[in-house]
C-alpha cells in the first residue's frame, strides 16, 4: 500500500472515530500508534524502536515523560507529545515539548492531537526547539506535496541530515510565501 493510501486510511479512521475519542489514551491507541506504525513504519511493540512514556527529566524535576520517543541507532531521534483528539494545540503544549526536547538528543519533535501534527526541529539554535513548526500536517485535510516530508521521517528513509535540510527549505519557503501574500494583499505604494 502506498503512503497516500495509508494516510487516507488513517484519515478515514479519524472521521469514523473522532467523536468517540474522549481521552488522550484513546487518541494514542486509535490514532497515534497507527500513525507511528502505518505511516512512519516503526514497530510500536519493539522498545528498541518506539519507547512510550520516555523519560525526559529536567534538572531536579524527576519523572518528566514525553509520550513517545522514536529511536534510531539506540538514540532518541523523534519525540512525540500527544494531546486529546480535537484539542487545540497551543503554546502551553509547545512549551512542554520544548522542555523535553532540550534534555534529549532528539532533533525532531512532534506535537499532535492525532489529527494535526506539528513538526519541530532546532534550526534556529542548536539543541533548542524552534518556536514555530517547520511543517504542519493535518490528516483530515492534507497537502499531498508534504507526503515526501513524511516519508523522510519514516523508518526506511530516516536520515537526519535530509530531514533537517528539508525542514530548512520548508521554513524558508513558508516565509517567502507569507511575504508574497502580504505584498499581494497590501501592495507597496509607488510614487
> What's the CATH code of the domain at 160?
3.90.1570
pTM of the model: 0.85
Cα dihedral across residues 54, 23, 133, 44: positive or negative: positive
Residue 190 lies in a domain: no
pLDDT band of residue 80 (cuts 50, 70, 90) is: very high
Contacts of 161 (CB under 8 A, 6+ apart): none
In which domain, by residue range, is 131 found?
Answer: 3-185
Number of domains in the chain: 1
49 neighbors 71 (Cβ within 8 angstroms): yes
* 191 in any annotated domain: no
* E strands present in 46-147: 50-55, 65-72, 75-82, 108-112, 116-120, 135-138
Contact yes or no for 80/94 (Cβ under 8 A): no
Domain contains 91: yes
Q: Which percentage of the chain shows pLDDT scores above 70?
A: 91
CB 163 within 8 A of CB 154: no
Query: Is the pLDDT at 188 greater than 90, yes or no?
Result: no
- Look up cell 507511528; give the residue: 36
Amino acid at each position: 500500500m502506498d503512503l497516500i493510501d495509508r494516510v487516507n486510511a488513517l484519515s478515514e479512521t479519524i472521521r469514523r472515530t473522532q467523536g468517540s475519542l474522549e481521552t488522550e489514551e484513546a487518541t494514542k491507541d486509535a490514532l497515534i500508534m497507527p500513525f507511528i506504525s502505518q505511516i512512519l513504519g516503526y514497530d510500536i511493540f519493539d522498545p528498541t524502536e518506539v519507547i512510550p512514556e520516555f523519560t525526559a527529566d529536567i534538572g531536579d524535576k524527576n519523572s518528566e515523560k514525553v509520550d513517545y520517543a522514536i529511536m534510531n541507532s539506540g538514540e532518541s531521534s523523534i519525540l512525540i507529545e500527544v494531546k486529546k483528539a480535537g484539542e487545540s494545540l497551543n503554546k502551553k503544549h509547545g512549551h512542554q515539548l520544548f522542555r523535553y526536547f532540550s534534555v534529549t538528543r532528539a532533533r525532531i519533535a512532534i506535537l499532535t492531537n492525532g489529527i494535526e501534527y506539528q513538526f519541530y526541529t532546532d534550526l534556529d539554535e542548536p539543541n533548542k526547539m524552534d518556536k514555530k513548526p517547520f511543517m504542519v500536517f493535518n490528516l483530515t485535510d492534507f497537502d499531498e506535496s508534504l507526503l515526501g516530508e513524511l516519508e523522510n521521517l519514516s523508518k526506511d528513509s530516516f536520515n537526519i541530515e535530509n530531514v533537517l535540510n528539508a525542514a530548512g527549505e520548508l521554513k524558508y519557503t513558508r516565509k517567502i510565501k507569507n511575504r508574497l501574500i502580504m505584498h499581494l494583499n497590501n501592495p507597496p505604494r509607488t510614487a
